Amino acid sequence: MEIDTETVFKIARLSRIRIDEDESDDIQKDLNRIVEFVKKLGEIDIDGIDEFNFGKTNIEDMRKDSVTIYNNTNEILKNTRNKNQDFFTVPKIVE
């Protein structure tokens, strides 16, 4: 199996998703099934093929790089209970 237990915990850490010991086996099995499935891509010759893109972006189609004023801080803060004045609060991050 390509993805071992250690790798499962490593990618969980990178993903900021906590995984318990008792669920890691099932997750490992599922991830390996998916990896086995997508390994088919290894069968194909990709020499000289460019990575996909939707075409070139015209610079004149881009939005003006200008300041827009967004005034509804209160509306945004309505979505959290964890606030202090106009700020979100989180656990202490500086000792």
Which residues contact another protein (rule: CB under 8 A)?
A: 3, 7-8, 11-12, 14-19, 27, 30-31, 33-35, 37-42, 44, 46, 49-52, 54, 57, 61-63, 72, 75-76, 78-80, 82, 88, 90-93
Inter-axis angle of helices 21-38 and 5-14, to 10 degrees? 90
Please, is 32 exposed, middle or buried when counting C-beta atoms within 10 Å of its C-beta (0-12, 13-18, 19+)?
middle
| β pairing state of 83-84 and 87-88 | antiparallel
Strand partners, 88: 83
Vertex 9: Cα angle to 5 and 13 (nearest 5): 165
* Least distance between another protein and beta carbon 51 (Å): 4
* Least distance between another protein and beta carbon 5 (Å): 13
* Least distance between another protein and beta carbon 6 (Å): 13
* Least distance between another protein and beta carbon 80 (Å): 6
Is 37 or 85 the residue whose CB approaches another protein more closely?
37
